Amino acid sequence: MRKKLIAALLTLTLTAACIAGCGNNPSEAPADAPAEDSTAAPEAEADSDEPYIAMIALGFSHQFWQAVKQGAEQAAADYNVRISFEGPETETMVDKQVDMLKTALGNNPIAVCMAAIDTESVAGILQEAKGNGVKVVGFDAGVGEAEADAKCTTDSIAAGAIAAEHAAELLGGKGKVAVIGYSQTTIDSVQRNKGFIDKLKSDYPEIEIVDEQFGDGDHLKSAEIAKAMIQANPDLNLIFANNEGSCVGAYNGLKEANKLEDVMLIGFDSSAAMKEAIRNGEIAGAITQDPIGMGYKSIEAAVKLANGEEVEDFIDTGCYWYDASNMDDENIAPLLYD
């Protein structure tokens, strides 16, 4: 009898639960409603009302790119847009950067800001995106002219020319110079070298360019190039290295060859190692950019273009010479990143 009573009570409990579960609860979906997509990204969904801009850099790990990211994030907050910022581990990973671009375009951005490792590799993709209404802003190295609605960067030819003027001053207007670039395909690398070489050839005929090589911005490759240049040109007076990796590599090469006192070095960009060597006189000086301003102005231009506003085709973010005499000045120090 006791067992029958317990069974009856269990039956009543289950029946009540079933009735409650099947009731018309307005806070729950009806039984025939489609299931939610478990792969949906809550953060992206929450931000879906904000226009999205993709930003893809040459690289990601160096502090320069983190400074660009900082400026871009500030602009995103000021203009109420959502951004992504990414780049490959090294500035030679063309295929990986192409994949990043394709993935970003799959997320329906209103604009893409890009510093292309190889402009040809992304030209067709960006042209198709432009055909679909996506605005394209090249920053730093930029993209091809046909693909860019605007370019936001340092005037690389002018920056190279400034480096040449300081090289000529250090040399007293005569001597032998070599150039170590980081890329033969990246626009800003090519233009930095062009600005440097053309300025020396046009204004300082007694300065001879004896060699120009490229080391991918890699410390080891650039060090070996510097040592080979010294061996081939024992009377070499100065090396211009056109990015941070090239400069630190060349510095290491000169140091290994015991030539820091014989061959002057001019660099480009900034890092903890460069700043220390410039402060103690082992590197003569360098050109610094304004990466925070570059990031900010790139996003600003993208927003304006997407809103149908006119922007300049070329937005110069500026560059500055620094050495031991001025690197602590209030207008220079904030631009020297580690």
pLDDT in tens, 41-100: 333 334 468 999 999 999 987 788 998 999 999 999 999 999 999 999 988 899 999 999
From CA 184, how far away is CA 193, in angstroms rounded?
10
Within 10 angstroms of residue 209's Cβ, the number of other Cβ atoms is: 15
From CA 146, how far away is CA 151, in angstroms rounded?
11
Asked if 49-153+291-318 and 156-289 have one fold, the answer is yes
Whether the pLDDT of residue 338 is over 60: the answer is yes
Q: What is the pLDDT of residue 334?
A: 87
Whether the pLDDT of residue 12 is over 80: the answer is no
276, containing H or E segment = helix 272-279
Label residue 140 left, alpha or beta by phi (over 0 means left) and psi (-120 to 50 means alpha).
Answer: left
Give 110-130 pLDDT, tens digit per residue.
Answer: 999 999 999 999 999 999 999
Contact 288, 322 (CB under 8 A): yes
Instruction: Give me 226's structure tokens.
Output: 């510097």
Q: Which CATH architecture has domain 49-153+291-318?
A: 3-Layer(aba) Sandwich (3.40)
From CA 116, how far away is CA 94, in angstroms rounded?
8
Q: What is the pLDDT of residue 48?
A: 60
Give 142-188 pLDDT, tens digit per residue.
Answer: 999 999 999 999 999 999 999 999 999 999 999 999 999 999 988 88
Beta strands at 285-289 and 314-316: parallel, antiparallel or unpaired: unpaired
Percentage of the chain with pLDDT > 70?
86
256 half-sphere exposure, CB direction, 13 A CA radius: 17
DSSP percent split of the chain into helix, strand, coil, nearest 5: 45, 15, 35
Q: Domain ranges for the chain, please list them.
A: 49-153+291-318, 156-289
Contact 323, 311 (CB under 8 A): no
What is this structure's pTM?
0.72
**Integer distance in angstroms from the first to the last C-alpha of the chain?**
84
Residue type, 100: M
Question: Which residues make beta-bridge pairs with 175?
Answer: 207
Instruction: Give me 215's structure tokens.
Output: 């080391």
Q: Which CATH architecture has domain 156-289?
A: 3-Layer(aba) Sandwich (3.40)
The secondary structure of residue 181, as a DSSP letter, is E
